[in-house]
Amino acid sequence: MATPHLKNFIDGRWIDSVSGNAFEDLDPATGEVIATATKSTMADIDKAVEAAKRAADQWRLFPAPKRGEMLYRAGEIMLKRKDGLAREMTREMGKVLAESRGDVQEGIDMTYYIAGEGRRQFGDVVPAELPNKWAMSMRHPHGVVAAITPWNFPFAIPAWKIAPALVAGNAVVFKPASLVPAFSVEFCKVWEEAGLPPGVLNLVLGSGSSVGNLLVEDPRIRAVSFTGSNSIGKGVHTIAGRRGIKATCEMGGKNPCVVWEDADLSLALGGVLRGAFGSTGQRCTATSRLLIHDKVYDKFLGMLVAETKKIRVGNGLDPKTTMGPAVDQGQLDCDLEYIEIAKKEGAKLVLGGSRLENGDFKHGFFVEPTIFEGLKPSMRLWQEEVFGPILAVARFKTFEEAMKLANDCPFGLTSAVYTQDLTVSMRFVESMDAGMIHVNSPTIGGEPAVPFGGLKGSGVGDREMAKEGVRFFSESKTVFLDYTGQTRASNIY
């Protein structure tokens, strides 16, 4: 059977890069080549942006409620294809099937929710200061926008960027991570089947270094939504600032979970396991720092180690697997490097810490779920995002100590506290420097109706999702209508 070849989607057609070059798409569990993908160049970016520019002029005139109906149709197609999409996702980036189904469902939920925004793009009508005059505000699309997305949530994140961009009346150039080209093609096929006009959504495949910056630099791009690393996000925001265009950059996290002395330990245990080792720790919202109250420290850590030992690592397509591989060799190397860094800096390895490479693991990128204790804020494992199944644990005695530890970090995306004490939970909500706070639930997850994003090094620009997402992809336009039928002598009665 021939290896599939993946192409760009530009102006409603599936076409190869003008360079004729391609790159390989690998299964991280087996090392097998899934497909080859066309490798885009500046010329391909130019084609995609020009197609989007032509389409944007017509798409913005398409009534917003009708744009919303198209999103509903896309959502129906997503729902019908959910299981097949989940399997494609697992094969390409490794997360277990249950997590892939959740990823697709999050994209479905977001698309349905944003579809309703086609009938909710409200402005304001206000009393004018002069007689026989009317004043109002309305929303206006930017024109052509760029969506630059990561590999770890290849359905949910494109959906929460592209759906609001489309319903607001923009045309989109979509640049996904080079590790998930096959799934990105499937994502665009959904919109093609839904009847989106040619050029309204365009896909360019290739590396961020060769394609992403070119896209942000293009003078026809009027807004950029980016999710990825802190270093690249700052670069995107710098370029956008220099050009004077809007940019929102979601740039990762180092998220703390605080287990208070009165916590329901069974509830907290489930939340920490999901938060730390779900998706192999490859989430910006992953629980990567665990703070345990001194009074329950030994008991809870013992419970956590015992349950972590039960995690079954393997191919995500196997229904018995509970944690899949790292996405590629580079991420695996990063995980192993930070394990060694933590050891050298004096952290105590409690569990895991090794690559799995025998038998069924031989050709994949597998690492054990890993726990370190004795962490201090000066240690790199406490400060730096790893994006792997490596949990840093620390002990505290007072609320003030817990908050100092939790906030002593350059990131501020999400956080969690487990407690039965309302006072503690509300003090945590007020004191935590994070964009999202969970009480008695894991650090992971979001919902379409509320904003997603962080503080400090976790994000810059507007929030994503909810009404904020649509507002990012549009501008406010104010209209004054004078119906006196004559020139006014002055701006007074």
Q: Catalytic residues, which ones?
A: 250, 284
Of 196, 208, 136, 207, nearest to 170 (Cα)?
A: 196
**Cα separation, 351 vs 411, whole angstroms:** 26
Cα dihedral sign, 147-148-151-157: negative
CB–CB of 468/125 below 8 Å? no
For Cα atoms 157, 162, 165, give the angle at the middle one, nearest 5 degrees: 135
Interacting residues of 486 by C-beta distance below 8 A, sequence separation 6+: none
**Cα separation, 25 vs 5, whole angstroms:** 10
Beta strand 414-418 with 436-439 is parallel
Q: Identify the three-state secondary structure at position 365.
A: coil
What residue type is 87 in one-letter code?
R
CB atoms within 10 A of CB 492: 7
12 by Cβ neighbours in 10 Å (0-12 / 13-18 / 19+) ranks as: middle
Helices (H) and strands (E) in the chain, counts: 15, 25
Of 169, 216, 217, 152, nearest to 61 (Cα)?
A: 169
Structural Rg of the chain based on CA atoms = 24
Element holding 309 (H helix, E strand): none
What residue type is 314 in one-letter code?
G
Distance of CA 409 to the CA centre of its chain: 20
Give me the DSSP letters along 147-166: EE--SSSTTHHHHHHHHHHH
